[in-house]
Amino acid sequence: MSKERKTLNVVGHSKLFYSISCALIAIFIILTFVIGLNVAIEFKGGTVLTYTYEGDIKTSDVSNTVSDSIGDKCTVTLGENTGNAGKTVEIKFSSTKGISDDKQNTLKTALEKDFPDNNIEVYESNDVAASSGMNFFFKCLAACALAMVITIIYIGFRFKKIGGISAGVFSVVALAHDMCMVYGCFVICRFDINANFMAVLLTILGYSINATIIIYDRIRENENLLGNKMELEDLVNLSITQTMGRSIHTTVTTVLAMATVFIVCGVTSILSFAFPLIIGMISGVYSSNCIAPTLWVHWKKHQAKKSHSGSKTGSAKKKASRR
């Protein structure tokens, strides 16, 4: 005889979930002002100098050379050039005016002096305008906003029997929650806010909403099967319990793949995509099961209470008019 699965009381612990999420978001906001935000050069503007080299060098040593030679702050990244299979070191300077030719020549001389065995040569020099990066940034934000509106409309039509518009709104609240967790990951890990940040947000938009839709679909099925035999809270708890295993298994499979990429690859550009995406996926499971459906339950109960109070007021007025 199979053991009956215990129904999780997710709705009953909703206040705890809201407190945890609000506390994390508050911490991310505070950290933004305390430790600052690393914004990529494509969003701020500046100059990118790329050099090829041989052997091994450390980014800290390159930063010290830059500071000692020209006195400017920079970000140093090591990479590979797929064209000639050579190693590259990329030095980024945030500046609206760029780096002058004299400073570039001074820096090249200093690098050749400090790294005589690494055969450092100039590969390319690019000035980046902040306007083009900001246009891309705002276009991505507009795409996220449009995706949220479409999500509300889609869920509103698909789940109109269970109050679709409200379900859509709270699914978007869950998506915004996941975006905040991704943002917090970038702040704490000191990753640059760049194209990877926008790519992770857009990926999470599609991934997280799928888990939420599955829960709403199960709520609708259980409501058709059980009708008024079960309280709304119990119905939602049952639906979450039935779908949670599937959500976790799907997420674990994807997270393992991304974790492999995160562990194997040492390139910063890949790490700043893979790790925040893992955080976003984990947050997606959490918000889909603990945020969106529980908020929807509280809203439905609020509507029912308001409707009940309205009907009582209406009947009281009728009685008074009869007297």
Task: Kindly report, residue by residue over 160-203, the tens digit of the pLDDT.
Answer: 877 778 888 999 999 999 999 999 999 998 888 888 888 888 88
Does 15 have pLDDT greater than 90?
yes
**pTM exceeds cut of 0.85:** no
**Strands (E) located in 85-202:** 86-94, 121-128
Please write the tens of the pLDDT for every residue from 81-106: 666 657 888 888 876 666 778 888 88
How many Cβ atoms from other residues are within 10 Å of residue 56's Cβ?
Answer: 9
Average pLDDT (295-309) is 82
Residue 294 scores a pLDDT above 90: yes
Whether the pLDDT of residue 295 is over 90: the answer is yes
Q: Which of 1-5, 45-49, 162-166, 283-287 has the highest mean pLDDT?
A: 283-287
Q: What are phi and psi of 215, to 5 degrees?
A: -65, -45
Average pLDDT for residues 126-138, to the nearest whole number? 71
- pLDDT at position 311 is 57
pLDDT at 5: 65
Burial of 167 (0-12, 13-18, 19+ CB in 10 A): buried
Helix then strand then coil, % of the chain, to nearest 5: 70, 10, 20
What does the pLDDT read at residue 266? 61
Task: Pick the range with the lowest mean pLDDT from 65-79, 122-136, 165-179.
Answer: 122-136
